[in-house]
Amino acid sequence: MRTRLDDIDVGYTRMGDGPPAVMLHGLAEDRNSWADVQRRLSDFTTYAYDLRGHGETELGEAEGSLEQLGDDLIAFLEALTGPADCIGYSLGGAVVLWVAAKRPDLVTRAAVAGTSTVVGRRAVGFFRDRIETIRSDFSGFAGALKEDTRQQLVVASDRLEEIAARRLKAIGNGDGYVNAARAMARLNEDPLTELLPEITCPVHVIGGDGDVFCPRKAAEIMLGALRHGTYHEVARAGHLMSVDQPDAYAEAIRNALESSA
């Protein structure tokens, strides 16, 4: 399905029947990364859309900012669902938290997985390196993305080729990746953490015990600032929890959506 939001055409998938829940993917992913979770949550009306420049969504006038990606989510909620539960993975989690702080009337409950609200200088260097590589040597970037994917898996390394190829396809010509990487790098100088006390809805933080990209420390930073935050850890899972432990990951999200707190 497609919809027009401000300056971009957005591709999205709708499944199920029940209370609305909107899902945002991470960097170098697209809405298809939510397909398994959507099937498992058929008693919710779930919407997974491609972020700006990923999958089937246009890049538009990209600003490389979390604020613009957040405005895209606001536009999606206002146009298609109204107030809804919002689930974000990695970059998508940061977008969800920004919107929960800025528009509490639209986010009834938040679940964020593999998410950080501040990045260090090493992460900034990582994003800058990937941006430079994608612009100068796309074939070299494909190899780098495969290595990044390898580091994000703990038990599903046998699926490395499949998952890396899927992620490479999701970013198309790479412009959306560059835009999102620029937005994440800005969390070094302008951390999202400072906005977390403004979030009034429950926030369920989900982390993988083997996640080297967003380790437990990232969750602790969020929990220390949130008014209503809970934590659930997925065992034997890296950053790509949905691949390493699909059953436990989907169950953690279901528990977050069904929680009364």
pTM of the model: 0.97
Averaged pLDDT for residues 220-232: 97
- Per-residue confidence (pLDDT) for residue 113, from 0 to 100: 98
What domains does the chain contain, in order, with CATH numbers? 2-258 (3.40.50.1820)
Averaged pLDDT for residues 47-56: 98
Per-residue pLDDT of 113-141, as tens digits, reads: 999 999 999 999 999 999 999 999 999 99
- Per-residue confidence (pLDDT) for residue 261, from 0 to 100: 61
- Per-residue confidence (pLDDT) for residue 14, from 0 to 100: 98
- Per-residue confidence (pLDDT) for residue 118, from 0 to 100: 98
What's the whole-number average pLDDT of the chain?
97
Averaged pLDDT for residues 100-106: 98
pLDDT at 187 over 70: yes
Averaged pLDDT for residues 36-41: 98
> What is the DSSP code string of 94-139?
HHHHHHHHH-TTTEEEEEEES--S---HHHHHHHHHHHHHHHH-HH
Overall size of the chain counted in residues: 261
Q: Which residues of 168-193 are buried (b: 16+ CB within 10 A; e: fewer)?
A: bebbbebbbbbbbbbbbbbbbeebbb
**At which residue do the structure tokens 């009034």 appear?**
200
Half-sphere exposure of 46 (CA within 13 A, CB side): 23
Per-residue pLDDT of 11-26, as tens digits, reads: 999 999 999 999 999 9
Rounded CA-CA distance 261/192 in Å is 23
Tokens of 194: 């400072």
